[in-house]
């Protein structure tokens, strides 16, 4: 183990105790917090992958699916860009996609920014708030 060095009046003084000190309480707290954030992020990522699969199973091509998770609140905004390769897009597709997202990760959602483009270049764009989602689809399952 190489000792730490510090300068004192132009001289370098070795301080071996700097490398042998036990981690401080602040460092342990920071490491514990980082581990908790990583665990929440990994869980959210797994949920997002499952949501993407559910959307694909319903016939949507997922161009982009992002969850901007606020770790303090454990909720956040979902941004979903989808394509429907064989159909004209209308309100029913928007409701179907929003419901799939809501049923999958609704407990982690503050709002959904949804855009769907159809094969004929028709499009659907809407921002669904949490209150609108609850009114339309009930309480989230996920």
Question: What are residue 67's DSSP bridge partners?
Answer: 78
Asked, for residue 113, whether it belongs to a domain, the answer is yes
Please compute the mean of the pLDDT values over residues 14-34 and round it to a whole number.
47
For 55-112, the pLDDT digits (tens) are 999 999 999 888 786 656 567 788 899 999 888 999 999 999 999 999 998 888 899 9
Question: What per-residue confidence (pLDDT) applies to 142?
Answer: 54
What whole-number distance in Å separates Cα of residue 2 and Cα of residue 107? 50
- pLDDT of 14 reads 52
Residue with tokens 């929440």: 40
Q: Which residue has the tokens 């183990």?
A: 1
Per-residue CA distances from 110 to 36, 71, 80, 104, 133 (Å)? 21, 13, 14, 14, 9
Summarised one tens digit per residue, pLDDT across range 9-22 is 555 555 555 444 44
Give me the number of domains the chain comprises: 1
Q: Is residue 32 part of a domain?
A: no
Domain assignment present for residue 9? The answer is no
pLDDT at 97: 95
Domain holding 120, by residue range, is: 61-142
Residue 139 pLDDT exceeds 80? yes
Q: Which of 13-17, 34-38, 56-60, 138-142 is predicted least confidently?
A: 34-38
């Amino acid at each position: 183990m190489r000792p730490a060095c510090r300068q004192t009046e132009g001289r370098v003084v070795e301080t071996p105790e700097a490398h042998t000190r036990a981690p401080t309480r602040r460092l342990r707290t920071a490491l514990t917090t980082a581990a908790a954030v990583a665990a929440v992020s990994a869980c959210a990522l797994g949920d997002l992958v499952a949501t993407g699969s559910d959307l694909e199973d319903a016939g949507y091509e997922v161009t982009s699916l992002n969850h901007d998770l606020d770790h303090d609140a454990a909720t956040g905004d979902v941004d979903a860009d989808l394509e429907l390769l064989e159909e004209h897009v209308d309100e029913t597709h928007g409701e179907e996609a929003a419901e799939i997202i809501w049923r999958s990760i609704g407990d982690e959602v503050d709002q959904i920014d949804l855009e769907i483009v159809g094969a004929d270049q028709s499009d659907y764009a809407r921002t669904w708030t949490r209150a609108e989602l609850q009114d339309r689809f009930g309480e989230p399952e996920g």
